[in-house]
A = this chain, B = another copy of it.
Amino acid sequence: MENFPFAFILPTPSLIPSAHDNHIERRLSALRGQFSDQAAYERILAQEDTLLYEVYEIQRPHESGELLTGISIVHPGKVGSEFFMTKGHFHAVLDTAEVYLCMKGEGFMVMENPQGECRVEKLAPGEVLYVPPRWAHRSVCTARLEDLVTFFIYPGHSGHDYGTIEQQGFRKLVVEGEAGIEIIDNPRWSKKGS
């Protein structure tokens, strides 16, 4: 037996649900136009259509009174200075909330409402985040190595509206600046476009 450092793994919970109905994988190509640094986006995409995030959904009827749940896993990484993130969306039925419970990792939930009010809230294990009705939301993973894992619950009749955010993104971006993580204004966003 040689006398060198060695490593092994003590398995930790994977946080992939033991039963689920859908497994969604969102890759870089699905977020075309969403990252600020388009040149960096094209450079990475030319190499590989990188997996940005995954969602494990538990299926239930899409009706009021039912609850839709699942696990969201945002992988670590950046496009230019902007951290990997979900597409982000409003609910199609605007007056529906969503609850997130952070299970693992670190990151932020970027939120805004149609009146233009913004909130960017930190996510860390044990933190419960209430996204009130009418607030669009996107999660962002800011760790260097670790996934951001959240458990989410929203009303069965909520639906999704991705189109509004796709037009010019959220008003705020989460980027790596010289001094660390920074929340900055989205240069692509303009009142004219809204």
**Chain A residues near B (Cβ < 8 Å):** 13, 17, 58, 60, 64-67, 69, 93, 95-99, 101, 126, 128, 130, 132-133, 151, 153-156, 158
Contacts and interface: CB of A to CB of B under 8 A. Distances in A.
| Count of identical protomers in the assembly | 2
A136 to B, nearest CB: 15
A13 B128 CA distance: 14
B69 A130 contact: yes
A188 to B, nearest CB: 30
A97 B65 contact: yes
A21 to B, nearest CB: 12
29 contacts: A13-B126, A17-B128, A58-B130, A60-B130, A60-B132, A64-B155, A65-B93, A65-B95, A65-B96, A65-B97, A65-B133, A65-B155, A65-B158, A66-B97, A66-B133, A67-B97, A67-B99, A67-B130, A67-B153, A67-B154, A67-B155, A69-B99, A69-B128, A69-B130, A99-B153, A101-B101, A101-B151, A128-B151, A155-B155
A17 B67 CA distance: 22
Contacts of A95: 64-65
The 3 closest A-B pairs by CB, nearest first: A65-B96, A65-B95, A153-B153
A156 to B, nearest CB: 8
Among the interface residues A95, A128, A130, which one has the most CB atoms of the partner chain B within 10 A? Answer: A128
Given A60-B97, A67-B153, A69-B130, 8 more contacts: A60-B130, A60-B132, A65-B133, A66-B132, A67-B130, A67-B154, A67-B155, A69-B99
